[in-house]
Chains A and B, each alone.
Chain A
Amino acid sequence: MNEILWYSSRATGIASIVLLTAVLALGMVTSGRRRTQGDRATVVMALHRWLSLGMLTFLLAHIATAVAETYVSIDLVSALVPFTSGYATVWVGLGTLACDLLLAIGVTSWFRPRIKEPTWKAVHLLSYAMWPIAVVHGLALGTSGEPVLRGITVLCGAVGLGFAGWRVVTSHQDRDRREAVLAQEWS
């Protein structure tokens, strides 16, 4: 039983990082690009939201199995409070930290209509910190001795970095025009 939990934890962990990377990529496409025609914007946006829910399911299973299995010492507290686990304090702690950030992102997104937009945006931008922390957590903990898992995680890292690089350099006319006008005298 314990072994099943251990393997399930790593499997759901890999699933989580893959889905997280996809969700981030989709989010970057939404913010980085505008098309005047077609369904793409709608599909991307819907997938971004839908996959994030799917990812949360796998993430919950990942945390639950990691806490439940007794091979290593990770208790419920350390699943919420970073850097408090007995086992691999730093690496598990990074996972917990990423999860806490994700919690903030998720909650603010759920309550977006009720909170100030700049607040929502600032928390949502924490994804760019949360994702690399999750990737490092995955590389350090879940992939040693498993070249396939390591390969998948590294691929997620590369894809995420690629999208982030594109996102930094890309622009579209709406943003360009707003920035250009904002630079003029308005006060």
Chain B
Amino acid sequence: MSQPVEPVEPVEPVRAAGLGRSSAGSRIAIDRVACTGHGICARILPDDIGLDEWGYPILRRPGGSTVSERDATVAVKLCPARALFRA
């Protein structure tokens, strides 16, 4: 991906469709198209991610959390749909 020559604002608020913080400086994001509702992320990061009535993730605290870096790594790795990523 080419980068702009000078600092450019994000063209629009980037829709990573939900950004949550999962440890000092590391943000978890959800690819909403890839997510098919396995719900594993919500079991591994219960303080950060809940599930709606259809089984899809809700980011509880977009502002911050106290979950460990290791749990975030596990959650990203275990998602069968590869829908969780670090933003």
Contact = CB atoms under 8 A, between A and B. Distances in A.
A–B proximity contact (CB within 8 A): yes
Interface of A: 30-31, 34-37, 39, 41-42, 45-46, 49, 112-113, 117, 120, 173-175, 178
Nearest to A173: B54
B80 A30 contact: yes
Given A42-B43, A46-B78, A112-B82, 15 more contacts: A34-B55, A35-B39, A35-B55, A36-B51, A36-B55, A37-B51, A41-B40, A42-B40, A42-B44, A45-B78, A45-B80, A49-B78, A113-B82, A173-B54, A175-B36
B44 to A, nearest CB: 7
Interface residues of B, number: 15
B53 interface: yes
B78 A34 contact: no
Contacts of B55: 34-36, 174
19 contacts: A30-B38, A34-B37, A35-B39, A36-B39, A36-B55, A37-B51, A39-B43, A41-B38, A41-B39, A41-B40, A41-B43, A42-B40, A42-B44, A42-B78, A45-B40, A45-B80, A112-B82, A113-B82, A175-B36
B36 A34 contact: yes
A174 B83 CA distance: 14
Interface in B47-75: 51, 53-55
Binding site secondary structure of chain B = loop
Interface of B: 34, 36-40, 43-44, 51, 53-55, 78, 80, 82
Please provide the 5 A-B residue pairs with the shortest distance between their CB atoms, ordered closest to farther. A36-B55, A42-B43, A174-B36, A42-B40, A41-B38
Contact of B37 (A112, A120, A174): A174
A31 B37 contact: no
Contacts of A175: 36
A105 to B, nearest CB: 15
A39 B78 CA distance: 13
Nearest to B52: A36
Nearest to A120: B82
Contact of A36 (B34, B54, B78, B82): B54
A99 B66 CA distance: 43
Contacts of A37: 39, 51
